[in-house]
Amino acid sequence: MADALAKSDFLGREEQAAPKPFVLWRPTAKTGLISWLTTVDHKRIGFLYGISALFFFLVGGVEALFIRIQLAVPNNSFLTSTQYNEMFTMHATTMIFLAIMPLSAAFFNFIMPLQIGARDVAFPRLNAFSFWTFLAGAIIVNLGWFLKSGAPDAGWFSYAPLSTRTYTPGHALDMWVMGIQLLGVASIAASLNFVITIINLRAPGMTMMRLPVFTWMTLVTAFLIILAFPAITIALVELMMDRLFGTNFFEVSNGGMPILWTHLFWVFGHPEVYILILPGMGVISEILPTFSRKPLFGYPIVVFSGASIGFLGFGVWSHHMFTTGMGTMGTAAFAFTTMAIAVPTGVKIFNWIGTMWGGHLQMRTPMIFALGFIWLFMLGGFSGVMHAAAPADSQQHSSYFVVAHFHYVLIGGSLFSLLAGIHYWFPLMFGRKVSEFWGKLSFWVIFCGFNITFFPLHFVGLDGMPRRTFTYDANMGWSQGNLVATIGAFILGVGVAIYFGVMIYTFFKGERTRHDPWDARTLEWSLPNPPPEYNYRVIPTVHARDNWWYEKHHQAEVSAENAKHAAEEAAHGGIHMPFQSIYPFFAGIGILIGAIGIAVIDPNPDPHVIIGRKLAVTLVGLLILVVSVYLWSLEGNEGYHLHPEDEEGHS
């Protein structure tokens, strides 16, 4: 393996290539704004995803609090109907696309290459491009708040024909459409990158069945994104065609079929929810073994369950459509597949419990969050199974019962696991450890606030309260439940504030931590905290699953191996690092402007009036994009070489 690598271009040749004439600029700054705009380091990109996600999480949280204030009392007029509809549309869009997904991406970026013993992802500049495109999408989706047309208000699912121009004129929805398209581009590009990285850049000896479970979940999630996003891309293109150019995909008066949108959306939408939960499950599958001090119970089954969930996840989408009149056969088929997918999900929970059984449980903050996850995700799973019974679901669908269900799996599941991951990997990423007291306090306030908010909503939903309603009457008996839920939401907000406060404080002033503070099991913990830019001075050789645990218990053998490999790598020119580049950032700017341009095109029945001022915005954006990508391709990928033993004065 080492010989093959030595002969390939990947590790680079001894001589540096002469700089190409078209290369305008090689950024070399390691600190400051330019270093962030031109970074291709997966750890920095992960960090950028992380802080963006946490920022938008707060935005989405404020939107949620506005919703809960409006619903705190019946017949309330805190928000108008339109404002409320904007709130729930943006709350969902923000939390799903701009908070949970990028927070998962932050971990995919930072942690996954470290777990497989790689120095970066396969395409570092593409990785940066994914981040800047994500940011562009996030900006466009939120632009409506600053425009006269207001924010999008047709729901995050934007059902046709409500989302067609007849019923939702104005550019807010066009902004939403283009924003989601960009987020799709970013996600697909990043996912392709991750798949190729995992398949091609694993350290020697790291077979697929020795991959840490988090990396496995990264792989499955990446495949889900690559296969699911095209469905919504198509749906959004068709919607834009209807809105801008008068096509009739969903135009009822000309034979359009709104049910088509519903199908396309949910073919994407259901895998999307597995995209939201699988990374978190991967995080939990790392945390539990570490804090139980024994390996994951039934690793092959856990991996296989994750893959099954990904695969079966494409066969259940119409359980979101049980009330659309699919007929007995269609309804029965999707009820069946939905129940089937509960099996691998349950199996994971059994295996997590099996991991802890017989272990030595260290009740640190990450473990507490992980335990909270298991309880809450289990409850969310139960209400999910209730939905699988389609006739029962026809009473639950579109009521607060569903709202309660998915918040249990999304907050109790996705969010708790990602919050656990932040605590768990904080020492690795930043070299500081979060205070146990404050971490646990934030957990309890979040846990209690969350349950007080959403548990009553199960009952309110069963009492007949539909969702997406800006108000309800005082005589319906839903008042107390809603008031309790609002109080809970504010408690949850306090918990989140404590969590954020703790994190920010710890980032700047937290107690420095020793190396490998949790006595963990996977490779990323073998690195110094924080890891150097090149990650591994010597690419490790992998002997077992949980290779860091193996290394700790076979130190002599590993040292000898590493010394040998260090000498080999030095002989081949040292560590090959990618150059930084400004072009992913410029390409992101181009795509941002281009997408805004498309979103503001005014549909005009006269086909000759299509070339105008507003099309110019699109053309400028596309021009910037094309030029950036052209220069990007010209600047080449030679990179440079590092000799860390020379830099640090010792080998």
Partner 1 sequence: MRPSTFFIKSLPWGRRALALAAAAALSGCQWMYMNDRQSVMKVEGPVAQTQLDLFYVTCWVTLVIFIVVGSVLAYTIIKFRARSEADEHAEPPEQGHGNPFIEVGLIGASVLALAIIAFPTFKAIGFTYDVPEAEKAGALKVVATGYQWWFKFEYPGEQIAGAGNLTTGNELVIPAGRAVHIDLRSVDVMHSFWIPKLAGKVDMIPNRANLLWLKADHPGYYLGQCAEFCGESHAVMRFRVIALAPEDYAKWVTQQKLPAREVAVAAVAAPKAQFASLRTFKQNEIGFSADDPLESVEGWRANQFPDKDEDAALIAQGKALFQAKTCIVCHTIRGLPSAVGVRGPELTHVGARTTIAAGLLENNAEQLQRWIHNPSLVKPGNKMWVEGYLVNHITLSSDEEVALVAFLRSLK
Q: Which two tokens stand for residue 389?
A: 């019974």
**Separation of alpha carbons 138 and 99, rounded Å:** 10
Look at the alpha carbons of 629, 632, 637, 642 in this order and tell me if their dihedral is positive or negative: negative
In the complex with partner 1, which residue's Cβ is closer, 234 or 448?
Answer: 448
Which helix (H) or strand (E) segment holds residue 351: the answer is helix 327-356
3-state SS assignment for residue 15: coil
650 burial level (CB within 10 Å; 0-12, 13-18, 19+): exposed
In angstroms, what is the minimal distance from the CB of 283 to partner 1?
18
In angstroms, what is the minimal distance from the CB of 116 to partner 1?
21
In the complex with partner 1, which residue's Cβ is closer, 181 or 451?
Answer: 451
Which helix (H) or strand (E) segment holds residue 481: the answer is helix 479-509
In the complex with partner 1, which residue's Cβ is closer, 436 or 557?
Answer: 436
Letter for the amino acid at 633?
S
In angstroms, what is the minimal distance from the CB of 329 to partner 1?
9
Strand partners, 640: 577
**Separation of alpha carbons 82 and 150, rounded Å:** 9
In angstroms, what is the minimal distance from the CB of 391 to partner 1?
4
In the complex with partner 1, which residue's Cβ is closer, 269 or 590?
Answer: 269
In angstroms, what is the minimal distance from the CB of 644 to partner 1?
32
In angstroms, what is the minimal distance from the CB of 105 to partner 1?
29
**Separation of alpha carbons 190 and 203, rounded Å:** 21
Look at the alpha carbons of 89, 93, 96, 100 in this order and tell me if their dihedral is positive or negative: negative
Query: Longest Cα pair distance anywhere in the chain, in angstroms?
Result: 81
In angstroms, what is the minimal distance from the CB of 1 to partner 1?
26
In the complex with partner 1, which residue's Cβ is closer, 172 or 460?
Answer: 460
**Separation of alpha carbons 450 and 455, rounded Å:** 8
**Separation of alpha carbons 347 and 341, rounded Å:** 10
**Separation of alpha carbons 420 and 418, rounded Å:** 5
Return the closest-CA partner of residue 373 out of 400, 412, 408, 335: 412
In the complex with partner 1, which residue's Cβ is closer, 261 or 425?
Answer: 261
In angstroms, what is the minimal distance from the CB of 425 to partner 1?
20
Q: Which two tokens stand for residue 532?
A: 């150097």
Number of Cβ within a 10 Å radius of residue 647: 9
In the complex with partner 1, which residue's Cβ is closer, 390 or 598?
Answer: 390
In the complex with partner 1, which residue's Cβ is closer, 526 or 618?
Answer: 526
HSE-CB of 443 using CA atoms within 13 angstroms: 27
Strand duo 432-433 + 511-512: pairing: antiparallel
In the complex with partner 1, which residue's Cβ is closer, 74 or 530?
Answer: 74
In angstroms, what is the minimal distance from the CB of 266 to partner 1?
13
In angstroms, what is the minimal distance from the CB of 328 to partner 1?
5
Q: Give, in degrees to the nearest 5, the angle at Cα 155 between 152 and 161.
A: 95
In the complex with partner 1, which residue's Cβ is closer, 268 or 322?
Answer: 322
